[in-house]
Amino acid sequence: MPIYEYVASDPEDCCPACRRGFEIRRPLSRPPLETCPVCKKPVRKLLAKGVSSPQISKPLSVSDAKKAGFTVLEKRDEGTYEKL
């Protein structure tokens, strides 16, 4: 279950818990928390902790791989016959 961190939208008008910010575990299926469970004042969600977004790396191109010192093995066409 992901941990969400919330903090008071208005730090002047809230309870000590959400002024500092608090963490709460919530199932993904539940809608995001909108109010502090203690003082019922509006809260906003901070970035989820401990959840690193996976880096989507684009596939290495052959020339990039060669530059990086990889040996690139490429299957050549085999068994291609030309009809004469």
**Helix H or strand E encompassing 32:** none
Query: How near is the Cβ of 27 to Zn ion at its closest, in Å?
Result: 22
Name the residue whose CB lies closest to Zn ion: 36
CA distance 12 to 30: 28
- In the bound state with Zn ion, the residue whose beta carbon lies nearer, of 4 and 14, is 14
CA distance readout (Å), 63 to 7, 44, 66, 72, 77: 48, 46, 5, 9, 20
- In the bound state with Zn ion, the residue whose beta carbon lies nearer, of 37 and 65, is 37
Query: How near is the Cβ of 52 to Zn ion at its closest, in Å?
Result: 28
> Which residues bind to Zn ion, rule: CB under 5 A?
14-15, 18, 36, 38-39
